[in-house]
Amino acid sequence: MISEPELVGGTEFPDALEPVPFEPSGPRPHRPWLWAVGGAVAASAVWGAGLVAYEKHGEDRGPDLGGYRLGVDPCDRAKLAGLASAFGSRGETTNPITVEQPALFRAQCMVPLEGKPVPYEVSVTYTLHRVTDPGPEFEALMNDPLEGGGDRVSGVGETAWFSDGGGFGGMKLRVLDGQAEIELSVSASLSYEGTGPPPEPPRLDPAATRTYLVEDMQALMAALKK
């Protein structure tokens, strides 16, 4: 029996594999084991090609997106039932600004809330990282005072931060869930025409706003997987 190294080794063959001289006067030697050798080599080649194809497929597939969908409008998926109950009914949303590249998909849009005495605006940002792990960068930014900092929130996504904006507009909840990064922020929408200092925006209740943001974020995360 020929061992595996003899089948897949170098270019030199042992004497047993040297061709037998042709003898016209006698019958051609019957050597069925050559077919076995050829079949083993062919099978090895097919198996190797299949392995390469499998490895290439695995590389092309990229990281697991956890069910999150590409090419969606996050404002269409964001029903914002909690925020709407507190700040006013939903108005007409803007068309999302999108970036779609092999490395990531990102969509950002605005949802107006027709509240009284002033209207509010909710910004929705959805980023799906298709190649790299966003975890280390997410943690670094959440601890960066230039990004507003904030408090860690449990029970939503893998990691979440809430920033109250000092009690005024711009309260936001930012969540990382696997390869998906999602942000909801709410602020008063004030227009000012006149002289003198602009009017002070109404002060929001951080605890209540945080509750609404968490509820609406959980619903949005589920909707982005449909």
Structural domains in the chain, CATH included, are 4-61 (no CATH), 74-191+200-223 (3.40.1000)
SS3 readout for the chain = CCCHHHHHCCCCCCHHHCCCCCCCCCCCCCCCHHHHHHHHHHHHHHHHHHHHHHHHHHHHHCCCCCCCCCCCCHHHHCCCHHHHHHHCEECCCCCCEEEECCCEEEEEEEEEEECCCCCEEEEEEEEEECCCCCHHHHHHHHCCHHHCCCEECCCCCCEEEEECHHHCCCEEEEEEECCEEEEEEEEECCCCCCCCCCCCCCCCCHHHHHHHHHHHHHHHHHHCCC
pTM check: above 0.75: no
User: Per residue in 64-102, pLDDT tens?
Assistant: 999 999 999 999 999 999 999 999 999 999 899 999 999
Task: Compare 52 and 183 and report the one with higher pLDDT.
Answer: 183
Flag whether pLDDT at 56 surpasses 70.
no
> What pLDDT sits at residue 169?
56
The band of 161, judged by pLDDT with boundaries at 50, 70 and 90, is: very high
> What pLDDT sits at residue 60?
57
User: Per residue in 88-144, pLDDT tens?
Assistant: 999 999 899 999 999 999 999 999 999 877 899 999 999 999 999 999 999 888 887
